[in-house]
Amino acid sequence: MTADATRVKRPARLRQAGIYAGLVAGAVFAVFPLLWGLSTSFKPEATVLATPVRWIPEHFTFDNYHAVLFDSQIPRNLLNSVIVSIITVAVTLLIAVPAAYSAARYRFRGKGGLLFFILMTSMVPGIAVLVPLYYLAVKLSVYDTFFVMIVIYAAWQVPTIIWILRGFFESIPADIEEAGRVDGTTTFGAFVRLILPLAKPGIGAAAIITFVYVWNDYLIASTFVSDSDLRLISVGLYTYLTQYGTVWGQLTAAVMVTLLPMIIAFVLFERRLVAGLSAGASKG
């Protein structure tokens, strides 16, 4: 190996080492609060704020998890979030998938402007339309229902999902559909039998994005529901923040329970999420 080649490779290695160091630092920064929360969830309430801080609890206890799972509304809140999230995902995909396919395959006058307008709607701050939405919910007698949350969540997610899936559909060769039509398949049949199976990674990524958005939202969940039996998990967690202080042990235990569905979803669909976002980013 020549000296020039060695000089060229050395900066590349340093750059790669710097990238990995940055990724490790970012991962540690992100995981640090979770590890603290996990440790706190196993501590008795009297020792949570004790000094010096012990990362490994001196006395392990499951009382916080018992209180969260059996003596609180958290299980009901979790079920509510699962129901609203799944239905929102279904409604969002039902609207966004054919819309994204049409945007990717068909040409019509004003297409670019229409797509840009759709994207603009997702840029409107939620707080800006909160009062009109609240007024409509009360007037239409849908306040304090899952229905109003599902409609709002789906409406806010459809523009983003259309743009993500549009890029993914554009990455699928149109020759596949033409071959299907030659064999006698209709346009709809080619879409369902040929395109949708190939679009599973993109659809899976869109489903996860929508699910996480609904799961983490607090603004809509706290504004349009006041019944404790209909609260979502994001609102339920705030019951541990009282005027007399924060119940740290039970709060962190509830957070750990809340994170479990998200962790399972990401572990199961990690490849599909990365594949779908990569295709959408490269073509969108």
Residues 149 and 264 in one domain: yes
Cα(77)–Cα(220) distance, rounded to whole angstroms?
Answer: 15
Q: What tens-digit pLDDT sequence spans the chain (284 residues)?
A: 455 555 555 667 778 888 888 888 888 888 888 888 888 888 887 777 777 777 777 778 888 888 888 888 889 999 999 999 999 999 999 999 998 888 888 787 877 787 788 777 777 777 888 888 889 999 999 998 999 999 999 999 998 898 888 888 888 777 777 777 777 777 777 787 888 888 888 888 888 889 989 998 988 998 899 888 889 988 888 877 765 667 788 888 888 888 887 787 777 766 666 665 565 544 44
Residues 172 and 248 in one domain: yes
Question: Residue 228: what are its φ and ψ, rounded to 5°?
Answer: -60, -25
- Residue at 47 is within a domain: no
Residues 37 and 91 in one domain: no
- Residue at 60 is within a domain: no
Residues 115 and 250 in one domain: yes
Both tokens of residue 5?
Answer: 């080649």
Give helix 146-170 / helix 200-216 axis angle, nearest 10°: 150
- Residue at 89 is within a domain: yes
Measured CA angle at 188 (ends 183, 191), to 5 deg: 80
Residue with tokens 């900066």: 11
- Residue at 179 is within a domain: yes
Residues 37 and 87 in one domain: no
Q: Is 207 exposed, middle or buried (0-12, 13-18, 19+ CB in 10 A)?
A: buried
Domain that holds residue 28: 3-41
Residues 33 and 154 in one domain: no
Contacts of 256 (CB under 8 A, 6+ apart): 37, 38, 41, 65
**Count of domains for the chain:** 2
Residues 33 and 124 in one domain: no
- Residue at 191 is within a domain: yes
Tell whether pTM > 0.85.
no
Cα(254)–Cα(234) distance, rounded to whole angstroms?
Answer: 10
Cα(26)–Cα(46) distance, rounded to whole angstroms?
Answer: 32
**Which whole-number Å values give the CA distances from 147 to 88, 92, 140, 151, 181, in the listed order?**
10, 14, 11, 6, 40
- Residue at 197 is within a domain: yes
Residues 77 and 29 in one domain: no
Which CATH number belongs to the domain containing residue 151 in this structure?
1.10.3720.10
